[in-house]
Amino acid sequence: MAVEFLRTMEKGTLKPDAHIYNNVIGTLCKDRMIDSALELFNEMPEKGIPPDVVTYSSLIGGLCNLSRWEEVKKLMKEMVFFKIYPDVVTFTTLIVDLCKEGMMDEAEDVIGIMKQQHVVPNVTCYTALMSGYCLEGPI
């Protein structure tokens, strides 16, 4: 439905912007429709709408939820290449999902990258790490 509305907007005088695309992409990712979200993401530059950190964060979250880790790595590298830097939301999303998967070394690596990039980990990052360690067994 949201994609249909986006298509209707494109035909009218009010053209969708990054904010509209981000809302639709975010919704698709939450509904686990990541391939549809990626299609919209790929359309954005073709239509002169540059993706931003919100776009990438939504996609990274959607890919993490589906354990599509190679695609997550690709998007993270692509972000930096285009000088769109991950923020605390991007990193936190990644850390939470890595911890849910028991990928604690990788989650700790992300914390290290955050610190290198002067992004301060928030309480959610540390809570995810604690939960992940608790899932591993005796503390």
For every residue of 5-21, DSSP letters joined together read HHHHHHHSSS---HHHH
Distance between CA atoms of residues 10 and 64, nearest Å = 30
User: In this structure, what token pair is assigned to residue 31?
Assistant: 């509904």
Distance between CA atoms of residues 27 and 39, nearest Å = 14
**Comparing C-alpha atoms, which of 38, 81, 74 is closest to residue 58?**
38
Q: What is the pLDDT along the chain (139 residues), one digit of tens a residue?
A: 778 888 888 888 888 899 999 999 999 999 999 999 999 999 999 999 999 999 999 999 999 999 999 999 999 999 999 999 999 999 999 999 999 999 999 999 999 999 999 999 999 999 999 999 998 876 6
CATH code for 1-84? Answer: 1.25.40.10
User: In the chain, which residues fall in CATH 1.25.40.10?
Assistant: 1-84
User: In this structure, what token pair is assigned to residue 22?
Assistant: 């981000």
